[in-house]
Amino acid sequence: MKCQLVQEQIVSATYGELAEEQANELERHMAACPECAGEHEQLLSLKAIAEAHPVLEPDANLVARARLKLDEALNALPPRRWYDRLGQRIMNNFASVWAAPVAACLLLVVGAGAGSLSGYQFAQNRATHTAATQSAPMLSATVTPATTPTAEVGAPAEIANISSIVRQPNSHMVEVRYNQVVPRRIEGSLDDPAIRQLLMLASENSASSRVRDDSVGLLADECRAGHGCKAAGIRDALLMALRYDKNAGVREKALHGLEPYVAEDTRVRDAVLEALMSDGDSHIRTAAINILGPVEADTSVRQVLHTVSNTDVNPYIRNVSRQVLNSVPEIQ
């Protein structure tokens, strides 16, 4: 039995869809072929991981929330002139005719590889983040709608967006205003799970950089103070902000909030290294070098610093990276 034929049957066997006779023949082959047996074990492990993290059904209010965000994004777009639209349509028609065969090949090759792997990892991370935030109790804070005396905070899928965040001076109290069907507000301590959940939701608010800046700043302060900055929660929100937020100020606050965990959390270390390598703001890259001080003897950190010191286009970044490398003793 050839390995090429076996590899086509391994997936069916993993999900119990192979005929008994073929399954017996496959087992005899894998007993004599370690490579095919190893691939079968990997598929079994992947299946177990997928079953341990089932895909959650979206909440009924998710569509309404998505439409609100889409409307906000569309309203923010500048109007296009009629001849711009006509020219773009003509160019799109020509491009689709000439590029269709090439695009199909690229979709088959790239989509089968990087797309499936990154999509699976992203789904796992988002499912973990959603489960963590939805499990937090939501009844401990006092919520006040704009038009009614009292109310309760809804689930994240019921919240359209966060409109403002205000911290009372010299106090641990925070007021968060958010929108559902009507504007609402909640007031409570930064230690309150409801407040923290709203702050994490606000860190993903694509419509307002000010709200993201306020929320990430408060989350970063909590992490630097060591107040419940667990990996599945506030720390995840800061990692997302550092990697993907378009506002440099928001990314810088997230970076400083993650600083206390660079030595103990490899995900934080990797995110800081990514910021050093690819962030478009030189202040953030310089701060990343300083934050890596406790782990600058780590092999991966040394490799990145060596690459930056030799190839980076910014002479100041090259010089600082070289100074850090020279101050670190060689690994024995």
Q: What is the pLDDT of residues 70-114, one digit of tens each?
A: 777 776 666 666 556 666 666 766 555 454 455 545 555 555 554
Question: Model-level pTM?
Answer: 0.49
The DSSP bridge partners found for residue 166 are 175
Chain segment 252-269, per-residue pLDDT in tens: 999 998 988 888 888 888
Considering the chain, what percentage of its residues have pLDDT values greater than 70? 66
HSE-up (13 A, CA, CB side) for residue 230: 11
Query: What is the chain's percent helix, strand, coil content, to nearest 5?
Result: 65, 10, 25
Amino acid 85: pLDDT: 63
| pLDDT interval class at 185 (50, 70, 90) | confident
- Nearest of 41, 33, 34, 39 to residue 7 by alpha carbon: 39
Residue 50 has pLDDT above 70, yes or no: yes
Who wins on pLDDT, 43 or 319?
A: 319
Q: What is the mean pLDDT of residues 9-37?
A: 81
Q: Of 20-29, 79-88, 240-249, give the lowest mean pLDDT range.
A: 79-88
d(CA 9, CA 234): 44
Amino acid 147: pLDDT: 41
Amino acid 60: pLDDT: 55
Chain segment 108-148, per-residue pLDDT in tens: 555 555 445 545 554 455 555 444 444 444 434 445 554 44
| pLDDT interval class at 15 (50, 70, 90) | confident
Chain segment 194-208, per-residue pLDDT in tens: 888 888 888 877 577
Structure tokens at 201: 């939701």
pLDDT averaged over every residue in the chain: 74
Amino acid 134: pLDDT: 45
Who wins on pLDDT, 234 or 182?
A: 234
What lies within 8 Å, CB to CB, of 109 at 6+ separation is none
Q: Of 9-13, 49-53, 55-59, 238-242, give the lowest mean pLDDT range.
A: 55-59
- CATH architecture of residue range(s) 142-327: Alpha Horseshoe (1.25)
| pLDDT interval class at 18 (50, 70, 90) | confident
What kind and span of H or E run contains 167? strand 161-167
Q: What is the mean pLDDT of residues 14-26?
A: 80
Handedness of CA 283, 287, 288, 290 (dihedral sign): positive
- Please report, for the chain, the start and end positions of each structural domain, with discontinuous segments joined by +: 3-52, 80-134, 142-327
Q: What is the mean pLDDT of residues 300-317?
A: 87
